[in-house]
Structure 1
Amino acid sequence: MNLFQLRAFDAVAREGSFTRAAARLFISQPAVTGHIKALEEHYQITLLRRTARRVELTEEGTKLAAITRAMFGLAEEAQAMLEANRQLLTGRLEVAADGPHLVMPMLASLRERYPGVTVNLRLGNAQETLAALLSEHADVAVLTEVEPRKGLHLQSLGESRICALVPQGHPWLAEPEGVRLERLDQVIMVLREPGSITRRTFDTACAQAGINPKVLLELDSREAVTEAVAAQLGVGVVSSLELSPDPRVRALPIIGEGLLNRHMLGCLERRRELRLIQAFLGLAPTG
């Protein structure tokens, strides 16, 4: 079946004229005539009656026109949808992030600028977020301490500092400029699980400085760490990006080497030129 012949027939059926059909398809009138003649001859069927004033459909032509109108109508809907997506009037963006604090302002900017775009956000730890991006379950990802690799485009979102989380009334609050890392030696602490980037950065800095805190609890969320510190079970560790107002606890910068985390926005290099991904990359703050 020749789709060019069917499209020519559909245009004539809609317009009732070979001349208008040719203009609709941006081809010559003889080309339209040739397509329909070939269609009729191949299937040994008469689809159109040519009169002096207009073109009329035969009974078989009327039946075929109902099919081609539906068929090419769907094609036109598909084209309209794709064109709207190209212009960022619609679309869907899969976003992964290892925390909500950097990605949420970016999503707010995206919504303001491109209200027709739908976003699916998946939050996970650093390993899960990188895996989602590399497996193409995410179009873009907000990542922490990811190493450059072939095929991965990364741009900086800035840095955060590791802070000590202490309950209100703690003696260290008399030192608002921060607490030195050495002060945490043999201190009872409540920390995130070892897979956490914050925990990994803290452990590495302690190991390099020869510091040995006493880990009482390992917890799987920032919220749990906050609750444990508020209950005075120990000193916690939190990223400066993750600070939230809570009158029961306070955060103090930890002063020492290796206590900064780098945050990145990433996508697969080969997908970087997609308009929706480009738009999101362009919304990212730089640091």
Structure 2
Amino acid sequence: MNLFQLRAFDAVAREGSFTRAAARLFISQPAVTGHVKALEEHYQITLLRRTARRVELTEEGTRLAAITRAMFGLAEEAQAMLEANRQLLTGRLEVAADGPHRVMPMLAQLRARYPGITVNLRLGNAQETLAALLSEHADVAVLTEVEPRKGLYLRSLGHSQLCALLPAAHPWASAPDPLALSALHQQIMVLREPSSITRRTFDQACLRAGVQPRVLLELDSREAVTEAVAAQLGIGIVSSMEVAHDPRVVTRPMAAEGLLNQHMLGCLERRRELRLIQAFLALAPAP
């Protein structure tokens, strides 16, 4: 089946004229006439009656026109959808992040600029977020302390600092100066699981400084750490961008090397030029 012939017939059926059909398709009138004639001859069928003033559909032509109108109507609908997506009027963006604090303001900016874009956000730990990006389950990802690798495009989102989380009644809670990392030696602490980026950064800083805290409770979420500290089960460690407004706890900055985490916005290099991904990358601060 020749789609050019069907397209020409459909245009004539819609317009009722070979001249207007040619204008609709941006081709010459003889080309339209030739396509329709070839269609009729190939299937040994009369689809149109040509009179001096107009073109009329035969019974078979009317039945075929109903089919081609639906068929090419769907094609036009698909084209309109794709064009809207190209202009960022609509579309769907899959976003992964290893925490909500960096990504939520970016999503708010995206919504303000492109209100027709639908976003699916998946939150997980650092390993899950990177895996979602590399497996193309996410278009873009907000990552922490990710190592550069071939095929992965990364853009800096800045850094955060690790802070000590103390019960509000703790003697150190009201001290004005940053808390020395050495002060945590042999202190009872409640920390994230060892695979957590926050925990890993803290452990590495302690190792370099020769500090050995007493980790008596390991928890799998930031919220659980806050609750444990509020219950005075120990001192916690949180990122400066994850500080919660909770009167039961107090956050203290710490003084030591290696207590910074670098945050990145990433996508696969080969997908970097897609317009929707470009729109999200543009939300990152200029390097």
Q: State the TM-score, normalizing by the size of structure 2.
A: 0.99
2 CA distance for matches of 1:156 and 1:138? 18
Runs (4+) of structure 1 moved beyond 4 Å?
none
Q: Is 1:131 aligned to 2:121, yes or no?
A: no
Task: Note the aligned Cα RMSD (angstroms).
Answer: 0.9
Task: State which drifts further: 202-211 or 134-143.
Answer: 202-211
Does the residue aligned with 2:173 lie in a helix, a strand or coil? helix
Q: Secondary structure at the match of 2:42?
A: helix
Q: Contact 1:161–1:259 (CA<8 Å) still a contact in 2?
A: yes
Matches within 5 A, 1:4-19: 4-19=4-19
Q: Distance in 2 between matches of 1:8 and 1:257?
A: 73
Match in the other structure for 1:221:
221
| Equivalenced residues, count | 287
- Write the distance in 2 (CA, Å) between the matches of 1:156 and 1:190: 30
- Other-structure match for 1:207: 207
Contact preservation (8 Å) 2:167, 2:173: no
Aligned to 2:120: 120
**Structure 2 residue aligned with 1:176:** 176
Secondary structure in 2 matching 1:130: helix
Shift of 1:251: 0.7
Match of 2:164, as an amino acid? Answer: A
Which residue of 2 is the match for residue 140 of structure 1?
140
The letter for the 2-side match of 1:280 is: F
User: Is residue 253 of structure 2 the alignment partner of residue 253 of structure 1?
Assistant: yes
TM-score under structure 1 length normalisation: 0.99
Secondary structure (helix, strand or coil) at the match of 1:88 reads coil
Instruction: Give the superposition deviation at 1:286.
Output: 4.8
Q: Distance in 2 between matches of 1:214 and 1:190?
A: 9
CA distance in 1, matches of 2:286, 2:107: 15
What secondary structure does 2:27 align onto?
coil
1:269 equivalent in structure 2: 269
In the alignment, structure 2 segments of 5+ residues that lack a partner are: none
Separation in structure 2 between the aligned mates of residue 147 and residue 101 of structure 1, nearest angstrom: 21
Q: Give the Cα–Cα distance (whole angstroms) in 2 for the partners of residues 176 and 8 of structure 1.
A: 80
Distance in structure 1 (CA, Å) of the matches to 2:236 and 2:286: 29
CA deviations 1:59-99 (Å, max 9, x no partner) are: 10000000000000000000000000000100000000000
Indicate the larger mover: 167-176 or 242-251. 167-176
Partner of 2:63: 63
**Matched letter for residue 61 of structure 1:** G
- Paired residues for 1:92-131 under 5 Å: 92-131=92-131
* Contact 2:5/2:35, CA 8 A, preserved across alignment: yes
Distance 1:24-1:280 versus aligned 2 partners, 3 A rule: same
CA distance in 1 between counterparts of 2:11 and 2:22 reads 8
Of 120-129 and 249-258, more deviation after overlay is shown by 249-258
Question: What is the match of residue 186 of structure 2?
Answer: 186
Distance across 2 between alignment mates of 1:176 and 1:5: 82
Structure 2 Cα separation of the partners of residues 78 and 201 of structure 1: 49
**Code of the aligned partner of 2:204:** T
For 1:64 and 1:168, the matched residues in 2 are separated by 78
Q: Is the 8 A contact 1:158 1:286 kept in 2?
A: no
SS of the aligned residue for 1:171 comes to coil
Query: Which residue does the alignment assign to 2:236?
Result: 236
SS in 2 for 1:283: coil
Report the AA paired with residue 63 of structure 1: R
Counterpart amino acid of residue 149 in structure 1:
R
Distance in 1 of aligned mates of 2:176 and 2:86: 51
Q: Which residue of 2 aligns with 1:45?
A: 45
Contact residue 96 and residue 141 of structure 1 kept, 8 A: yes
Q: Which runs of 5+ in 1 are unaligned?
A: none
1:132-165 CA-partner distances (Å, limit 9, x unpaired): 0000000000000001111111000000001000
